[in-house]
Chains A and B, each alone.
Chain A
Amino acid sequence: DQQVKQNSPSLSVQEGRISILNCDYTNSMFDYFLWYKKYPAEGPTFLISISSIKDKNEDGRFTVFLNKSAKHLSLHIVPSQPGDSAVYFCAAKETSYDKVIFGPGTSLSVIP
């Protein structure tokens, strides 16, 4: 049973445009969400997070939106750059429990 879902295995975007990566979750106890970026042959690196008390968190070109009622979050990258090409993982956890569950990932390609 996949508790964190990323239904788009891949996404292709033109340089300079907006990239929108989506994530859905099923466990209503999740209250902290993270996005990670992974390049080949490297470990995932932390990008941005959001707590369930917020509906938006912004850090430079990266913004995460959380819709708790829909159990949906999204990562917006604007403007997209070729160096953003990587696999993006959505992850979730309960604050009172330390297990972090990852989605299957979305491979983003930013075309110059």
Chain B
Amino acid sequence: GAGVSQSPSNKVTEKGKDVELRCDPISGHTALYWYRQRLGQGLEFLIYFQGNSAPDKSGLPSDRFSAERTGESVSTLTIQRTQQEDSAVYLCASSLLLGTRSSYNSPLHFGNGTRLTVT
């Protein structure tokens, strides 16, 4: 597709259930990012992938959160045993990456997000 695609667009789940969020990046984009935006807050970095590896997982809030990426394309963010404080919009973004030593910077292109509501 032309842009970053995220599914589902909305998810309502009961506290304690697991959820899986999906991101399809722009074709050819090697870098993939997950951010979270809670109500009235800014964009909170969660994790990013360079290809299939995740050099920086520092933003994951707890061990209930995990993410994986296969084939340098689709990524899934999994939240286990959801809590009400997990309610937020989860945003995925992708960008070209020409190596961490490259002097070239490429902007991130975002999907429309998944709005997660934990009741």
* Alpha-carbon separation in the docked complex, A56 to B105 (Å): 17
The 8 Å CB contact of A46, one of B55, B103, B107, is B107
Do the beta carbons of B45 and A43 come within 8 Å of each other?
no
Nearest residue (CB) in A for B43 is A102
The 8 Å CB contact of A51, one of B102, B105, B108, is B105
* Alpha-carbon separation in the docked complex, A49 to B109 (Å): 13
Residues in A12-57 with C-beta less than 8 Å from chain B? 32, 34, 36, 41-46, 49, 51
Residues from chain A with a CB closer than 8 A to the CB of B105 are: 32, 49, 51, 93, 95
Task: Summarize B's interface: helix, strand, loop or mixed.
Answer: loop
Nearest residue (CB) in A for B50 is A98
Residues from chain A with a CB closer than 8 A to the CB of B1 are: none
Residues in B13-57 with C-beta less than 8 Å from chain A? 31, 33, 35, 41-43, 45, 48, 50, 55-56
Known A-B contacts: A91-B108, A98-B100, A102-B42. Give 12 more (CB < 8 A): A32-B105, A34-B107, A42-B112, A43-B113, A44-B110, A46-B107, A89-B42, A93-B105, A95-B102, A98-B31, A100-B33, A105-B43
